[in-house]
Amino acid sequence: MNMLVNEKIKVKIINHNMIHYNNIGFNVRYGDNILVFPFQLSIGSNYRVNCICDNCGKIKDIKYQDYYKITKKLKEPYYCQKCVKTIKNNITNIERYGCKNVSSSQIIKNKKKETNLKNWGVENVFQNEEIKNKNRKKIFDKYGDYYTRTQEYRDKSELTRKKKNSKIFDEEKIDFKKYKRLVRSYTRMSRKKLFENWDGLDFYDSENLNENFIFNPAKSSKYPTIDHKISIFKGFKNMINLDIIGGIDNLCITKRSNNSSKSCHLKKPKINK
């Protein structure tokens, strides 16, 4: 199971590895430099390789000998350190409780109920009047009439949004849904031409994305996606024609992370109504 990004690695022949490479078909002498595939490296090689986590898609730079050990002689998937902990915890929880999350286990739920019944006389502590009153008092002491103030804050926020026109309001939802669907239709028609003319660089930070298609499109923040330079939201609010927002001149290719965080964009297109 190969989760390595490297195509070939430059290796220098020394006494320590000369026999290995001659045994696998190379005719080498001390001091030679050769290009080898990652799987041709010796199992104790200190050469570093880029490997993809089979769970999250992140790339990690590690020694080949470590990669060989982690994947159990290349027979098992490679997981980064963070994912290994999660996966091991999931396996342990399934073995002990029959589910990945212990909070979903009926055994744990029953234990909590037994403890609460013993200490508070109820299955859930929030069913106890004493606990309820303590929580109410804490909220009142800290915020005063909490619920009234919260509603006042919401009303004020809603008024501010209306003044700034920074939200899709209830009366606009149907029209916005239609507008968005039609813009997506124009975008799909421009998709093929957009990729044909693409230079392989991220529109916003000029990073080369040609190799990023190996990542999981549903999980990785580095996967290339189509972005609207002027967003569909702004197009709707400023009454810009559908063919302009969904047209190729308003489209670009960027990483999913940039697409979901407009504040990081370096280039700000002007809005022409």
pTM for the model: 0.42
Tens-digit pLDDT profile for residues 168-191? 888 888 999 999 999 999 999 989
Tokens of 209: 């994305």
With a cut of 50, say whether residue 265 has pLDDT above it. Answer: no
In this structure, the number of other CB atoms found within 10 A of the CB of residue 177 comes to 12
> Looking at per-residue confidence, does 27 or 154 come out higher?
27
Tell me the CA distances in angstroms from 55 to 62, 122, 216, 218, 223, one per residue in order: 17, 41, 9, 12, 15
- Closest by CA position to 194, among listed 224, 223, 215, 219: 224
Tens-digit pLDDT profile for residues 202-252? 998 899 998 888 888 877 888 999 999 999 999 998 899 999 999 999 999
Tens-digit pLDDT profile for residues 41-61? 988 898 999 888 888 888 888
Q: Residue 16, class by beta-carbon neighbours within 10 Å (0-12 exposed, 13-18 middle, 19+ buried)? A: exposed
Within a 13 Å sphere around the CA of 120, how many CA atoms are in the beta-carbon half?
A: 16
